[in-house]
């Protein structure tokens, strides 16, 4: 098991590419099975089961930013962009400082060519406190989005 550096979800050790977000950067130092059942299902590549499980938790009142954010990443993996938006906005409603939700919303917007709106999401993320790595990632995403805005 290793941790994806981008979506932060556990991935099977043999994977070269994260099946959820498509990133290639992994932290191989993660050892042992995750304590959390939802993360375990994701690590076993049982993504549909993980989605159902997390949705169940949320429905039963365990609506945490972490659960909503994992649901958003899973929806991204399934290509359900509408659900990504819903879960990301829910994450931000629960915790406005959850900058990863801005990253995910930006990725969804740029997928449909809405670069200016994507740039706004990255800027919103940059207004929040973040680790140097996350800040660097947001800056790189913002830079790329800006170069794609036709009139920028």
- Using CB under 5 A, list all residues that contact Zn ion: 4, 6-7, 18, 20-21, 23
Choice between 14 and 151, CB closer to Zn ion: 14
Choice between 136 and 149, CB closer to Zn ion: 136
Choice between 49 and 116, CB closer to Zn ion: 49
Name the minimum Å distance from CB 8 to Zn ion. 7
Choice between 7 and 119, CB closer to Zn ion: 7
Name the minimum Å distance from CB 6 to Zn ion. 5
Cβ burial of 148 (10 Å; 0-12, 13-18, 19+) is middle
Name the minimum Å distance from CB 61 to Zn ion. 28
70 neighbors 42 (Cβ within 8 angstroms): yes
Name the minimum Å distance from CB 74 to Zn ion. 11
> What is the Cβ-side half-sphere exposure of residue 39, based on CA atoms within 13 angstroms?
17
> What single DSSP character describes residue 2?
E
Long-range contacts of 25-30 (CB under 8 A, 24+ apart): 26/2, 27/2, 27/3, 28/2, 29/2, 29/3, 30/1, 30/2, 30/3
Choice between 8 and 123, CB closer to Zn ion: 8
Cβ burial of 61 (10 Å; 0-12, 13-18, 19+) is exposed
Name the minimum Å distance from CB 147 to Zn ion. 24
């Amino acid at each position: 098991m290793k941790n994806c550096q981008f979506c932060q979800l556990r991935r099977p050790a043999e994977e070269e590419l994260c099946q959820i977000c498509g990133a290639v950067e992994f932290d191989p130092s993660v050892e042992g099975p995750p304590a959390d059942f939802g993360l375990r299902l994701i690590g076993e590549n049982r993504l549909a089961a993980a989605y159902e499980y997390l949705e169940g938790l949320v429905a039963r009142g365990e609506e945490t930013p972490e659960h909503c954010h994992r649901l958003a990443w899973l929806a991204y993996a399934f290509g359900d962009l509408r659900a990504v938006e819903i879960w990301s906005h829910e994450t931000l409603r629960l915790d406005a400082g959850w900058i990863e939700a801005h990253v995910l919303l930006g990725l969804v917007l740029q997928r449909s060519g809405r670069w200016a709106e994507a740039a706004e999401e990255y800027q919103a993320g940059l207004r929040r406190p973040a680790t140097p790595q996350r800040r660097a990632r947001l800056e790189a995403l913002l830079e790329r989005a800006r170069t794609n805005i036709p009139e920028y």
